[in-house]
């Protein structure tokens, strides 16, 4: 392996950024310092031959080991696409396979030693250790703590936006998006700005429940003048495009991304200069508001693994996917990637560590008391009184329903994971075949573009 060659490549084209304090903490693998750093980040640092990578849920981070100069090049970027394009530029795309890429799991520092062959084995160091179950079991008190943490996250994010800039809110009229809208209006008022700069947008494909629900909520709150219904034909939903955008094949994430792309395309057409976007992604994960009958999960598995919905089964678990991480750490691409496609700076307070920690402090065992059906109503029992405690506003609450029933186009059959995986595999097979036909260079050649 050649000495004196920098074999760490950060691929341009994304929005990776971390401040100097965060980068130094990652370089030193200082998990204590990282645990005290707020906000979202993705950071890359080197110490000798050891490269360290870390991220939070809100920013993706991937890497790939390319063989060049008789040694490994660690290529780092936000997307599979970015890593592949770098390999194409070096004419070594024949080495590439999406399955060889790795997603950095959220809330961990990943250490990789660049020592040549065999390939390095990454080491993981957790920097987020929330207290589990130490908070109040009373729903109103737990809700006040949870929503207060979310309110601080929104205000901190909003403070970085220039005064006078409008902020779009992806709005279904459900618990999470209504909470975010009200917290956005509060943050703007507290900053001395016009609360009406928070502009809710709702996708309507015809026949869904979100648009009517959202209309009822904004009328009840007296802010209908700020709301826009984005009507699109049902066939505007493009599932194959969503798979390409999020680079994944989980059906619910694909459907969510397809709807997000459709909504944001409509918003961008109407408002070419609108930049900032708030959403409520992560609220279901925080308060475990998923129907267990839709998965192989049991109540004991959900309650016994507090970060299951955020991080999956854990980096050492049999079910952990090296390619994709797990939980919302993986799934947030359904929100981040559509926003990036249309040039939005997106944020959800529910993905931040203080808000996650506030949710996990609730003793779910004591609250649920062995009844899975409690999970279907718990979120409204926590969030609604929390919003009232923080904002003074009684939030309209509607029954939770499946995502597919909200945006419309209900005649479509539910997409399957097998179909999504076939689309994903076909897309990459075509790209790799085209690269192998035209872009071939030995990894032993001594020049790099």
> Does residue 29 surpass a pLDDT of 60?
yes
Q: Could you give the residue range(s) of every CATH 3.40.50.620 domain in the chain?
A: 139-423
Q: Could you give the residue range(s) of every CATH 3.60.20.10 domain in the chain?
A: 8-128
Rounded to 5°, the CA angle 359-393-362 comes to: 15
Sequence-separated (6 or more) residues with CB below 8 Å from residue 370: 299
pLDDT tens for residues 228-285?
A: 999 999 889 999 999 999 999 999 999 999 999 999 999 999 999 999 999 999 999 9
Distance, CA of 199 to CA of 263 (rounded, Å): 14
> What pLDDT does 404 receive?
56
Rounded to 5°, the CA angle 411-175-213 comes to: 45
> What pLDDT does 222 receive?
97
> Does residue 402 surpass a pLDDT of 70?
no
Mean pLDDT, rounded, for 16-21: 79
The mean of the pLDDT values for the chain is: 91
Mean pLDDT, rounded, for 58-63: 95
Fold of 139-423: Rossmann fold (3.40.50)
Query: SS3 for the chain, per residue?
Result: CCCCCCCEEECCCCCCCCCHHHHHHHHCCCHHHHHCCCCCCEEEEEECCEEEEEECCCCCCEEEEEEECCEEEEEEECCHHHHHHHHHHCCCHHHCCHHHCEECCCCEEEEEECCCCCCCCCEEEECCCCCCCCCCCCHHHHHHHHHHHHHHHHHHHHHCCCCCCCEEEECCCCHHHHHHHHHHHHHHHHCCCCHHHEEEEEEECCCCCHHHHHHHHHHHHCCHHHCEEEECCHHHCCHHHHHHHHCCCCHHHHHHHHHHHHHHHHHHHHCCCCCEEECCCCHHHHCCCCCHHHCCCCHHHHHHCCCHHHHCCCCCCCCCECCCECHHHHHCHHHHHHHHHCCCEEECHHHCHHHHHHHHCCCHHHHHCCCHHHHHHHHHHHHHHHHHHHHCCCCCCCCCCCCHHHHCCCCCCCCCHHHHHHHHHHHHHHHHHHHHHHCCCCCCCCCCC
> Does residue 149 surpass a pLDDT of 90?
yes
- pTM (predicted TM-score): 0.93
Mean pLDDT, rounded, for 147-161: 97
Domain 8-128 has CATH 3.40.50.620: no
Phi and psi at residue 61, to the nearest 5°: -155, 125
> What pLDDT does 411 receive?
43
Distance, CA of 158 to CA of 346 (rounded, Å): 11
The count of C-alpha atoms lying within 13 angstroms of the C-alpha of 290, restricted to the half-sphere facing its C-beta, is 23
Distance, CA of 281 to CA of 257 (rounded, Å): 12
Q: Assign 153 a pLDDT band (cuts: 50, 70, 90).
A: very high
Lowest mean pLDDT: which of 29-38, 96-105, 185-194, 411-420? 411-420
pLDDT tens for residues 65-98?
A: 998 776 788 999 999 999 999 999 988 999 999 9
> What pLDDT does 13 receive?
61
> Does residue 128 surpass a pLDDT of 70?
yes
Sequence-separated (6 or more) residues with CB below 8 Å from residue 51: 8, 44, 45, 74, 111, 112, 113, 114
> Does residue 165 surpass a pLDDT of 90?
yes
> Does residue 10 surpass a pLDDT of 70?
yes
Q: How many beta carbons lie within 10 A of that of residue 48, not counting itself?
A: 7
> What pLDDT does 5 receive?
46
């Amino acid at each position: 392996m050649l000495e004196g060659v920098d074999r760490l490549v950060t691929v341009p084209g994304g929005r990776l950024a971390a401040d100097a304090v965060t980068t130094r903490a990652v370089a030193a693998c200082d998990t204590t310092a990282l645990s005290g750093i707020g906000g979202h980040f993705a950071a890359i640092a080197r110490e000798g031959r050891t490269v360290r990578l870390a991220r939070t849920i809100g920013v993706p981070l991937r890497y790939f080991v390319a063989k060049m100069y008789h040694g490994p090049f660690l290529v780092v970027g936000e997307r599979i696409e970015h890593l592949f394009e770098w390999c194409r530029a070096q004419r070594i795309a024949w080495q590439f396979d999406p399955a060889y890429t790795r997603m950095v799991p959220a809330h961990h520092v990943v250490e990789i030693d660049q020592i040549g062959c065999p390939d390095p084995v990454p080491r993981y160091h957790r920097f987020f250790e929330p207290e589990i179950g130490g908070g109040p079991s009373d729903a109103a008190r737990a809700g006040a703590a949870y929503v207060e943490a979310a309110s601080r996250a929104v205000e901190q994010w909003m403070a970085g936006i220039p005064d006078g800039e409008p902020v779009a809110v992806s709005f279904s009229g459900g618990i999470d998006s209504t909470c975010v809208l009200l917290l956005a209006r509060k943050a703007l008022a507290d900053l001395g700005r016009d609360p009406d700069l928070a502009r809710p947008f709702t996708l309507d494909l015809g026949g869904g429940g979100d648009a009517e629900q959202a209309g009822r909520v904004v009328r009840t709150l007296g802010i209908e003048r700020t709301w826009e219904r984005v009507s699109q034909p049902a066939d505007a939903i493009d599932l194959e495009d969503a798979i390409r955008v999020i680079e994944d094949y989980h059906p619910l994430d694909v459907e969510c991304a397809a709807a997000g792309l459709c909504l944001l395309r409509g918003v961008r057409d109407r408002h070419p200069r609108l930049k900032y976007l708030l959403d409520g992604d992560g609220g279901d994960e925080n308060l475990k508001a998923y129907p267990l009958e839709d998965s192989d999960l049991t109540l004991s598995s959900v309650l016994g693994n507090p970060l299951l919905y955020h991080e999956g089964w854990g980096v050492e678990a049999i079910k952990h996917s090296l390619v994709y991480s797990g939980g919302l750490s993986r799934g947030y691409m359904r929100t981040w990637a559509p926003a990036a496609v249309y040039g939005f700076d997106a944020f959800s307070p529910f993905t931040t560590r203080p808000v996650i920690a506030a949710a996990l402090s609730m003793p779910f065992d004591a609250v649920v008391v062995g009844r899975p059906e409690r999970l279907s109503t718990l979120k409204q029992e926590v969030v609604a009184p929390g919003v009232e405690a923080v904002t003074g506003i009684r939030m309209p609450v509607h029954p939770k329903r499946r995502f597919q029933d909200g945006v419309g186009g209900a005649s479509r059959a539910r997409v399957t994971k097998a179909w999504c995986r076939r689309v994903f595999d076909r897309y990459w097979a075509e790209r790799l075949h085209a690269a192998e036909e035209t872009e071939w260079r030995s990894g032993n050649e001594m020049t790099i573009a």
